[in-house]
């Protein structure tokens, strides 16, 4: 999608990468009288790491104290507390329980408590065995104790970047999707030219929020300060009937020896098990593996065995942008009018607003004058979460438009009205995947047995293309 | 919110729901309501454009859409009240359902509720097949929709997962879409196409010849980026994996009842069928709630579902007249060889009811097979069958139920060589 209007004046700021981090930065800067552009190589926003997270809105209680990550996580948490409800993004303040299953883990609890307090997360407290089972009665036997983190929450991992990008666009940020940046050149005066197969784009400042490829963009500016290793995380999503089995996010206790996995409710009413952590070489390898799924299955059996008796709704994998460093790789380069916002490892959803605010500060330090706009438009997403009232269940929504009573995807109860909205929204869905992420259609237990074709037809009719082209069929 | 009352609420207008509605009308009940979530009634057969329908109940060979249309026409003629695009989403009382549709929400209080919500195929994820999430992955259900309703090309080379009857529907649908099926993959040592009628077998011979069945095998991984590029097929005996290029994968069979409404209403479920536990009269353990059709245990042919509709209608009528909801019963428990038994509750013989059948399905090949039904130390029934094939169901008489002792604990259902 593109809403650029030629002839093109150089933009003040170009943001490379419309993941959660780039979208947050775009929204942050859209408050000011700057001309910004948000660029992504994919045809839609959030198609990188941001679409495939475990969707925990972390407090930052276990971040390494003193790191930038810890600081930005804590700050971001509070910013999100205001923003998320206001933007209508699905979330639940579920709280998290860390369960100790062995001596090592049990002994790690006091340290974690101290760390949480050091990070300013004051409401964290220890739990006795009895308290653990009172909170989570379905857990397997054998827990030794635990830690309660009341602030840990769950969120819609796609809703967050979508809301922020939509708000940014509503306030004048240009969107340039399907534009892979391949090279940077300096033009006349202080102008830089970002180029790719799709053409060139002129701007004064560049912010690199390219996720897995942030190291490669950084190299274009002559740096070799970090290398991104894609760290795969595989996940299994269970049927909604599993939801009553857990009340909180069940977080593993890191002990250095073994990597644990979490069990978490999702805002859509499912239960998620994962992720694995495995370093790969190929940044395009986004599939799941038999080893990964087997590993998760065994872990699930060991934590919450009744879960494994429910149906599996989906499996997927995401790649974290891990680096050789144990902190975010955020560097301003005033001379080059460039800020690198890379290596946002495994906490980018939670830290996004904090990162955006921090990046704004760096821009100001570089001498970019920020004039607040007289008017600012906020944006609210349609309700997607189980804790919200979805249209199919809303008398007033259906009365206003009967299409909100026409269910197309029966498993997720997505109505024709919601699909229509997603096709006509400010940043419309242009692919089946985009439609799936915006509305949840085809994401339910039947995975499209009933609605795959219907939904494809709606999208194809809207775009004026053949349905076959949407499923990647080539003559 | 609109509120209304009805004697009988039927959820689902497939063959089972419609047959039940018509039978209830025939028995003189006037106040009944059928709700269907799709825009058109008729259920699953609407999507199955091949023949093979109506043999047992309409006594002629019909296509799926023709068969569905016949039921819908009958229902119209008998003035069955049928609301389409109306989904039952929840329960608000023991026999009160909440439905949504373009007209808004409505609460329907009934004296009896029949659940006839059908079943679906397990999709790729539910089978934990690893690999990429590329385009080109279907179930038979979604494939039929693309090909018959959208008239859409789906791919060029397909691998079919499964070699049971429904896999043949996928095979025919792919042929219609000019997509070549290159293999059918089954974890069993043989295909499970037994019992299809001869003309179909002959018509299929050529397609089957080109899509050899890979036995003792499983799709281990799907490879590809945007679109499927290949599947890795694992030989389960040797562990060897071979890569088969294809751009389409169709997951067939592996049925699971659409039990969501039943479970959310607290209807006790059966561990074998994964559908509601029912007795011979298709009563569930929740008073006033009945179940019929594929919801009971996954897909059988449509005529079987329709016959269950007729049976359950009679049972509902008895319930409305006699309030026989609280019936004594014992569970029929399948042994390790048996996948499911349906019905799976044994209740005392009722003179008003004609004799029915008990269906079962096995987990492996048995040839010959001996079915044995026991309670405590007593053998209630024994029968030899020439063979039992997995992913196929077998019907036996249920007259042995008269011998069940309702104080003696579960009935054991076993199949041995
Ligand atoms: C399995 C898993 C679980 C996780 N769980 C959590 C969690 O529970 N909570 C949490 O807070 N975080 C979690 N994370 C981490 C979080 O998802 C990431 O930190 C976050 O999504 C990173 O966002 P980003 O914008 O930096 O990267 P991305 O989302 O990858 O965005 C980068 C964008 O840049 C684009 N791009 C790349 N190169 C170019 C180019 N050359 N030109 C144009 N565009 C380009 C890409 O297409 C992409 O859209 C998890 C991650 C994984 C993998
Ligand atoms: C690929 C394929 C090939 C087949 N081939 C044959 C064949 O050759 N011959 C043959 O005899 N049979 C065949 N069958 C089987 C046949 O289609 C089924 O046996 C039959 O449809 C079962 O009827 P049913 O009424 O139980 O369920 P369905 O026909 O599935 O009807 C259930 C209905 O309930 C509705 N529903 C579900 N939930 C709700 C809700 N909450 N609210 C409102 N409505 C709801 C559904 O929309 C659906 O219309 C085939 C099936 C498939 C999938």
Residues of chain A with C-beta less than 8 angstroms from the C-beta of B220: 290
Å between A97 CA and nearest CA of chain B: 27
Report d(CA A38, CA A34) in Å as an integer.
13
SS3 B257: strand
Q: Provide the sign of the torsion angle of the four alpha carbons B244, B249, B255, B258, taken in this order.
A: positive
Nearest Cα residue to A286 out of A384, A197, A211? A211
The stretch B38-67 carries a mean pLDDT of 94
Instruction: Give, for A399, the enclosing helix (H) or strand (E).
Output: helix A395-400
Ligand nearest to the CA of A184: 1
Find out whether B171 and B184 touch, Cβ atoms under 8 Å: yes
Are B331 and B80 contacting, i.e. CB atoms less than 8 angstroms apart? Answer: no
Find the length of chain A.
Answer: 475
Instruction: Provide the residue count of chain B.
Output: 417
Q: Do B131 and A392 touch (CB under 8 A)?
A: no
Mutation pick for ligand 1 pocket among A2, A16, A17, A289 (CB with most ligand atoms within 8 Å): A17
As a whole number of angstroms, the distance between CA A225 and CA A347 comes to: 21
Cα–Cα distance measured from residue A372 to residue B290, given in angstroms and rounded to the nearest whole number: 64
pLDDT, residue A1, reads 46
| Nearest-by-CA chain B residue for A401 | B102
Whose CA is closest to B155, among B171, B179, B127?
Answer: B179
Ligand 2 atom 27 nearest Cα: B118
Q: Tell me, what's the pLDDT at A6?
A: 44
Ligand sitting nearest the alpha carbon of A195: 1
Measured over the CA atoms of residue A400, residue A403, residue A409 and residue A410, the dihedral's sign is positive
How many residue contacts between A and B have a Cβ separation below 8 Å? 140
Q: Does the distance separating the beta carbons of A447 and B125 come in below 8 Å? A: yes
CA dihedral A81, A87, A88, A94 (to 10 degrees): -20
Average pLDDT over residues B391-406: 90
B117 and B41 assigned to the same domain:
yes
Note the helical H segments in A268-394.
Answer: 290-303, 348-365
Q: What pLDDT, on the 0 to 100 scale, is given for residue B326? A: 80
Q: Is A398 part of the contact surface with chain B (CB cutoff 8 Å)?
A: yes
Cβ(B142)–Cβ(B322) below 8 Å: no
Provide CB contacts within 8 A for A67, sequence distance 6+: A326, A327, A328
Token reading at A422:
């997603």
CA B359/CA B371 separation, integer angstroms: 11
**CB of B253 closer than 6 A to ligand 2?**
no
Is B92 in the same domain as B141? no
Tell me whether residue A78 is one of the annotated catalytic residues.
no
- Count: domains in chain B: 3
Which chain A residue is nearest to residue B250, measuring alpha carbons?
A449
Degrees, nearest 5: CA angle A240-A243-A248: 145
Q: CB B146 to CB A405 under 8 A?
A: no
Instruction: Write the CA distances from B157 to A122, A269, B124, B163, B364, integer angstroms.
Output: 59, 37, 18, 17, 30
Residue B348 has pLDDT above 80, yes or no: no
Which DSSP letter does residue A382 get?
P
- In chain A, the residue whose alpha carbon lies closest to the alpha carbon of B90 is A393
Indicate the top mutation candidate among B302, B308, B309 to test ligand 2's pocket, ranked by most ligand atoms within 8 A of CB: B302
Domain containing B340: what range?
328-417
- Quote the crossing angle between the two packed helices B165-176 and B198-210, to the nearest 10°: 70
Does residue B131 share a domain with residue B114? no
Does position B74 have pLDDT exceeding 80, yes or no?
yes
Assess whether B322 and B342 both reside in one domain: no
Task: Find the CB nearest B128 among A287, A293, A448.
Answer: A293
CATH of the domain at B241: 3.50.50.60
Q: Are B44 and B306 contacting, i.e. CB atoms less than 8 angstroms apart? A: no
Instruction: Judge if B403 and B299 occupy the same domain.
Output: no
The pLDDT, as a whole number, for residue A325 is 96
- Of the candidates A289, A473, A475, which has its C-beta nearest B130's C-beta? A289
Of A24-28, A255-259, B75-79, B267-271, minimum mean pLDDT range? A255-259
Q: Choose one of A349, A352, A355, A431 to mutate for the ligand 1 pocket test, by most ligand atoms within 8 angstroms of C-beta.
A: A349
User: Which SS3 state, helix, strand or coil, does residue B210 take?
Assistant: helix
- The tokens for B176 are 């219609």
Phi, psi for residue B317 in degrees, rounded to 5: -60, -45
Number of the ligand 2 atom closest to the C-alpha atom of B51 = 8
Look up tokens 């409710």; give the residue: A265
Q: Is B206 found in the same domain as B141?
A: yes
Residue that finishes a domain, picked among B218, B253, B288: B253
**Which ligand is the nearest neighbour of the Cα of A183?**
1
Give DSSP secondary structure letters for A130-196: HHHHHH-TTSPS---EEEEETT-EEE-TTHHHHHHHHHHHHTT-EEE-S----EEEE-STT-EEEEE
Kind of pairing, strands A153-155 and A91-92?
antiparallel
Selected residues 64-83 of chain A with any CB under 8 Å from a CB in chain B? none
Question: Distance between CA A5 and CA A41 in Å, rounded?
Answer: 19
Q: What is the pLDDT along chain A (475 residues), one digit of tens a residue?
A: 444 444 468 999 999 999 999 999 999 999 999 999 999 999 999 999 999 899 999 999 999 999 999 999 999 999 999 999 999 999 999 999 999 999 999 999 999 999 999 999 999 999 999 999 999 999 999 999 999 999 999 999 999 999 999 999 999 999 999 999 999 998 777 899 999 998 999 999 999 999 999 999 999 999 999 999 999 999 999 999 999 999 999 999 987 656 679 999 999 999 999 999 999 999 999 899 999 999 999 999 999 999 999 999 999 999 999 999 999 999 999 999 999 999 998 999 999 999 999 999 999 999 999 999 999 999 999 999 999 999 999 999 999 999 999 999 999 999 999 999 999 999 999 999 999 999 999 999 999 999 999 999 999 999 999 999 999 998 7
Looking at the complex, report in whole angstroms how far the Cα of residue B123 sits from the nearest Cα belonging to chain A: 6
B317: CA distance to ligand 2 center in Å?
24
| B384 and chain A in contact, CB less than 8 A | no
Distance (Å, whole) CA A406 – CA A392: 8
Q: Do A449 and B128 touch (CB under 8 A)?
A: no
- Mean pLDDT across chain B: 94
H/E stretch holding B74: helix B64-77
Is B210 in the same domain as B224? Answer: yes
Chain A residues 405-424 with a CB less than 8 Å from chain B: 405-407, 410, 413
Only one residue has tokens 């005392």, namely B348
A431 interface with B at CB cutoff 8 Å: no
CB atoms near residue A45 (< 10 Å) = 31
Q: How far apart are the first and last CA of chain A?
A: 25
User: Are the beta carbons of B220 and A290 separated by less than 8 Å?
Assistant: yes
Q: Is A322 helix (H, G, I), strand (E, B) or coil?
A: strand
Is there a single domain that holds both residue B128 and residue B247? yes
Residues of A in contact with B260 (CB under 8 A): 241, 445
Q: Report the residue of B11, B90, B100 to disrupt the A interface, i.e. the one with the largest count of A CBs within 10 Å.
A: B100
CB within 8 Å of chain B, chain A residues 22-51:
none
Q: For residues B17 and B98, state if they share a domain.
A: yes
Last residue of a domain, one of B222, B253, B284: B253
Cβ atoms of A339 and A16 closer than 8 Å: no
**Per the CB < 8 Å rule, is B103 touching A405?**
yes
Measured in degrees and rounded to the nearest 5, phi and psi for residue B75 equal -65, -40
Tokens describing residue A395: 């008398």
Cβ-defined contact of A407 to B124 (cutoff 8 Å): no
Put simply, the chain B residues between 126 and 145 with a CB less than 8 A from any chain A CB are 126, 128, 130-136, 138-139, 141-142, 145
Q: Which ligand is nearest to the CA of B263?
A: 2
Residues B323 and B405 in one domain: no
**In chain A, which residue's Cα lies nearest the Cα of B257?**
A446
Residue A213 near residue A21, CB atoms below 8 Å = no
SS3 per residue for B135-164? ECEEEHHHHHHHHHHCCCCCCCEEEEECCE
pLDDT of residue B352: 47
A187 in reach of chain B (CB within 8 A): no
CB contact under 8 A, A467 and B152: yes
Catalytically annotated residue among A58, A117, A248, A410:
A58
Q: Burial code of B331-345, b = ≥16 C-beta within 10 A, e = fewer?
A: bbbbeebbbbbbbbb
Q: Residue A127's Cα: distance from chain center in Å?
A: 30
Give contacts of A 291-330 with B, CB under 8 A: 292-293, 297, 311-316
Region B354-381 average pLDDT: 91
What CA–CA distance (Å, rounded) separates A159 from A322?
24
- Out of A312, A405, A447, whose CB is closest to B100? A405
Same domain membership, residue B224 and residue B151: yes
- Asked if B129 and B248 sit in the same domain, the reply is yes
Contacts of B122 (CB under 8 A, 6+ apart): A311, B251, B254, B255, B256
Q: Tell which B residues from 24 to 53 touch A, by Cβ distance under 8 Å.
A: 37
**Can you list the pairs that A371-377 forms with residues at least 24 positions away whose Cβ atoms lie under 8 Å?**
A371/A32, A371/A33, A372/A31, A372/A32, A372/A33, A373/A30, A373/A31, A373/A32, A373/A33, A373/A171, A373/A172, A376/A30, A376/A31, A376/A171, A377/A167, A377/A170, A377/A171
Is B155 in contact with A452 (Cβ distance < 8 A)? no
Residue B35 near ligand 2, beta carbon < 6 Å: yes
Of the candidates B327, B342, B372, which is a domain's last residue? B327
Q: How far from chain centre, in Å, is Cα B224?
A: 32
């Amino acid at each position: 999608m593109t809403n650029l209007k030629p002839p093109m004046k150089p933009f003040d700021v170009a943001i490379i990468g419309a993941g959660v981090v780039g979208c947050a930065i775009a929204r942050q800067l859209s408050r000011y009288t700057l001309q910004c552009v948000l660029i992504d190589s994919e045809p839609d926003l959030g198609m990188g790491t941001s679409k495939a997270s475990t969707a925990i809105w972390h407090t930052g209680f276990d971040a390494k104290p003193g790191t930038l990550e810890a600081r930005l996580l804590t700050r971001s948490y509070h910013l999100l507390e205001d923003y998320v409800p206001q933007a209508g993004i699905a979330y639940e303040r579920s709280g998290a329980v860390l369960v100790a299953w062995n001596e090592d883990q049990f002994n790690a609890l006091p340290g974690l408590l101290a760390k949480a307090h050091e990070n300013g997360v004051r409401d964290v407290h220890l739990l006795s065995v009895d308290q653990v089972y009172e909170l989570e009665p379905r857990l397997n036997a054998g827990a030794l104790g635990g830690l309660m983190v009341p602030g840990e929450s769950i969120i819609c991992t796609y809703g967050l970047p979508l809301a922020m990008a939509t708000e940014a666009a509503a306030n004048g940020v240009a969107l340039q999707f399907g534009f892979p940046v391949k090279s940077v050149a300096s033009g006349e005066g202080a102008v830089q030219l970002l180029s790719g197969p799709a053409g060139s784009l002129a701007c004064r400042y560049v912010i690199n929020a390219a996720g897995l490829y942030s190291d490669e963009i950084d190299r274009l500016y002559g740096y070799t300060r970090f290398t991104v290793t894609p760290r795969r995380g595989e996940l299994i999503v269970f049927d909604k009937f599993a939801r009553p089995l857990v009340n909180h996010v069940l977080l593993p206790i890191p002990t250095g020896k073994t990597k644990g996995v979490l069990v978490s409710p999702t805002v859509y009413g499912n239960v998620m098990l994962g992720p694995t952590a495995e370093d790969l070489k190929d940044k395009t390898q986004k599939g799941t593996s038999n080893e990964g799924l087997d590993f998760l299955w065994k872990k699930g059996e060991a934590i919450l065995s009744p879960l494994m008796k429910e149906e599996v709704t989906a499996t997927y994998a995401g790649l974290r942008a891990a680096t050789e460093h144990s902190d975010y790789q955020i560097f301003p380069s005033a001379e080059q009018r460039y800020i690198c916002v890379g290596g946002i490892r495994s906490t980018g959803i939670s830290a996004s607003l904090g990162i955006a605010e921090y990046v704004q500060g760096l821009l100001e330090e570089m001498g970019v004058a920020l004039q607040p706009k007289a008017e600012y438009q906020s944006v609210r997403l349609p309700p997607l979460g189980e804790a919200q009232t979805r249209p199919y269940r809303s008398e007033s929504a259906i009365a206003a438009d009967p299409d909100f009573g026409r269910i197309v995807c029966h498993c997720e109860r997505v109505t024709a009205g919601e699909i229509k909205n997603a096709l006509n929204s400010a940043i419309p869905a242009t692919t089946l995947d985009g439609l799936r992420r915006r509305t949840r259609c085809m994401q339910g237990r039947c995975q499209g047995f009933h609605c795959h074709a219907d939904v494809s037809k709606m999208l194809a009719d809207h775009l004026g293309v053949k349905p076959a082209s949407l499923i990647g069929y080539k003559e | 919110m609109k509120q209304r009352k009805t004697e009988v609420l039927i959820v689902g207008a497939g063959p089972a729901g419609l047959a039940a509605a018509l039978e209830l009308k025939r028995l003189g009940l006037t106040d009944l309501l059928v709700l269907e979530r799709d825009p058109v009634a008729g259920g699953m057969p609407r999507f199955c454009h091949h023949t093979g329908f109506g043999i047992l109940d309409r006594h002629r060979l019909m296509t799926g859409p023709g068969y569905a249309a016949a039921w819908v026409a009958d229902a119209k003629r008998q003035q069955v009240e049928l609301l389409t695009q109306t989904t039952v989403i929840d329960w608000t009382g023991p026999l009160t359902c909440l439905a949504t549709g373009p007209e808004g929400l409505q609460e329907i209080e009934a004296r009896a509720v029949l659940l006839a919500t059908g079943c679906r195929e397990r999709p790729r994820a539910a089978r934990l097949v690893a690999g990429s999430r590329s385009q080109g992955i279907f179930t038979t259900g979604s494939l039929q929709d693309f090909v018959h309703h959208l008239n859409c090309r789906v791919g060029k080379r397909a691998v079919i997962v499964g070699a049971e009857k429904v896999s043949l529907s996928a095979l025919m649908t792919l042929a219609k879409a000019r997509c070549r099926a290159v293999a059918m993959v089954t974890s069993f040592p043989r295909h499970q196409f037994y019992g299809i009628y001869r003309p179909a077998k002959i018509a299929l011979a050529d397609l089957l010849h080109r899509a050899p069945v890979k036995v003792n095998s499983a799709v281990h991984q799907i490879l590809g980026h945007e679109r499927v590029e290949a599947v890795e097929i694992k030989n389960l005996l040797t562990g060897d994996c071979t890569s088969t290029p294809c751009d389409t994968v169709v997951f067939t069979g592996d049925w699971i009842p659409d039990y969501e409404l039943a479970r959310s209403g607290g209807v006790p479920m059966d561990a074998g069928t994964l559908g509601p536990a029912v007795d011979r009269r298709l009563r569930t353990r929740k008073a006033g709630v009945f179940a019929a059709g594929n919801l009971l245990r996954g897909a059988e042919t449509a005529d079987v579902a329709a016959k269950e509709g007729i049976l359950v209608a009679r049972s509902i009528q008895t319930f409305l007249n006699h309030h026989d909801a609280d019936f004594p019963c014992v569970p029929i428990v399948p042994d390790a060889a048996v996948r499911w038994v349906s019905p799976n509750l044994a209740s005392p013989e009722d003179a008003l009811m004609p004799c029915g059948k008990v269906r079962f399905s096995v987990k492996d090949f048995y040839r010959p097979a001996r079915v044995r039904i026991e309670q405590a130390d007593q053998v209630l029934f024994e029968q030899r069958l020439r063979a039992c094939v997995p992913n196929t169901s077998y019907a036996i008489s249920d007259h042995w139920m008269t011998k069940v002792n309702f104080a003696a604990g579960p009935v054991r259902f076993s199949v041995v060589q």
